């Protein structure tokens, strides 16, 4: 009887071991016994927006427009607008030597000028000049500012120029007064980011005729489904953004949280993040 009892115990043990083995083969488990695939599917990394610290300073950097001319364009209803700049205490095409250049999208051509026409996507200028085609009888804003090689704007008092102008019906350049209204211009992120460059995106914008503070004007940043209010003017870093299309909307708001009135106070841009 004792021998039979031992046989029965061994058989029961074998059955239990076999059952456990079959259970373990039905899914991929972590050491704690939790299905790792399920955890990945249910957990989404939130988008974060944090200040960028310790950017290289450029005290005394200056940008000025030395000449603007309008010449006949490619068609009868357009002109070719040529803009020339003067730069002081800043070197175009030089690489910005600081730690932010190591982990953000960095231009291989170095430091440059951001040329922003009518709050559209900027053109990067590595020479102090640019030309664009404009329609006759049109009105425009042109913001230009100096930029580090990784596209962060230089926020020195004389490092930018804002022009408000029109192209007359007969094709002449006519300068207009720059409104005293507060203005917000979008700069980064821009275009398409690939691979490692998707891990950290620079969020940067330019302010004219306003400051930001906890009790005053602020910038509301809507990044996909994440909204954050910024009360300090400076560069920020976006992390945790998913691959695919990223929608970024910036709005200048007053102390009451409502959009500030003006010609340039809200901008929406889409960028793409890919492997």
Per-residue pLDDT of 259-275, as tens digits, reads 999 999 999 999 999 99
Q: In 3D, which of 157, 165, 138, 178 has the Cα closest to residue 68? A: 165
Phi, psi of 168 (to 5 degrees): -70, 170
SS3 category, 42: helix
Query: Which of 37 and 214 is assigned the larger pLDDT?
Result: 214
- Per-residue pLDDT at 27: 38
Residue 176 lies in a domain: yes
β-pairing, 266-274 vs 192-194, is parallel
The number of folded domains in the chain is 1
Single pTM value for the model = 0.83
pLDDT digits (tens, 9 = 90+) for 67-96: 999 999 999 999 999 999 999 999 999 999
pLDDT averaged over every residue in the chain: 88
| Cα-to-chain-centroid distance, residue 94 | 22
Mean pLDDT of all residues in 45-59: 93
Residue 237 covered by a domain: yes
Confirm whether 41 is domain-assigned: no
Question: pLDDT value at position 11?
Answer: 44
Backbone phi and psi for residue 44, each to the nearest 5 degrees, phi listed first: -115, 135
Cα(175)–Cα(141) distance, rounded to whole angstroms? 10
Domain ranges, residue 132: 48-274
> Does residue 1 belong to any structural domain of this protein?
no
Write down the pLDDT at residue 44: 62
164 vs 120: CA distance, rounded Å: 15
Asked if residue 207 is part of any domain, the answer here is: yes
Alpha helices in the chain (DSSP H): 2-24, 36-42
User: Has residue 5 been placed in a domain?
Assistant: no
Quote the tokens at residue 200. 């950290």
How large a percentage of the chain has pLDDT more than 90? 80
Asked if residue 112 is part of any domain, the answer here is yes
**Is pLDDT of 140 > 90?**
yes
Q: Tokens for 211?
A: 């400051």
Residue 35 lies in a domain: no
Please check the confidence at residue 202 and state whether its pLDDT lies above 60.
Answer: yes
In a 3-state reduction of DSSP, which class is residue 18? helix
Q: What CATH number should be reported for the domain holding residue 260? A: 2.60.40.10
Q: Among the listed ranges 24-28, 149-153, 185-189, which one has the minimum average pLDDT value?
A: 24-28
């Amino acid at each position: 009887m004792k021998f039979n009892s031992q046989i029965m115990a061994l058989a029961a043990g074998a059955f239990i071991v076999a059952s456990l083995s079959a259970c373990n083969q039905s899914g991929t488990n972590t050491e704690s016994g939790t299905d790792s695939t399920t955890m990945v599917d249910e957990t989404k990394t939130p988008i974060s927006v944090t200040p960028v610290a310790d950017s290289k300073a450029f005290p005394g950097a200056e940008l000025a427009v030395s000449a603007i001319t309008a010449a006949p364009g490619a068609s009868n209803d357009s002109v070719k607008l040529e803009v020339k700049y003067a730069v002081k205490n800043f070197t175009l095409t030089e690489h910005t030597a600081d730690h932010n250049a190591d982990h953000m999208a960095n231009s291989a051509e170095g430091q440059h000028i951001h040329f922003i026409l009518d709050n559209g996507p900027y053109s990067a200028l590595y020479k102090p000049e640019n030309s664009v085609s404009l329609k006759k009888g049109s009105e425009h804003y042109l913001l230009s500012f100096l930029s580090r090689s990784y596209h962060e704007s230089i926020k020195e008092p004389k490092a930018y120029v804002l022009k408000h102008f029109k192209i007359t019906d007969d094709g002449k350049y006519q300068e207009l007064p720059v409104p005293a209204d507060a203005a917000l211009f979008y700069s980064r992120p821009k275009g398409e980011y690939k691979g490692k460059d998707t891990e950290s995106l620079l969020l940067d914008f330019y302010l004219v005729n306003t400051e930001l503070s906890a009790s005053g004007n602020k910038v509301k940043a809507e990044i996909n489904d994440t909204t954050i209010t910024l009360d300090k003017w400076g560069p920020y870093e976006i992390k945790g953004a998913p691959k695919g299309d990223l929608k970024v909307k910036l709005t200048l708001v007053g102390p009451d949280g409502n959009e500030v009135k003006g010609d340039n106070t809200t901008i929406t841009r889409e960028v793409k993040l890919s492997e």
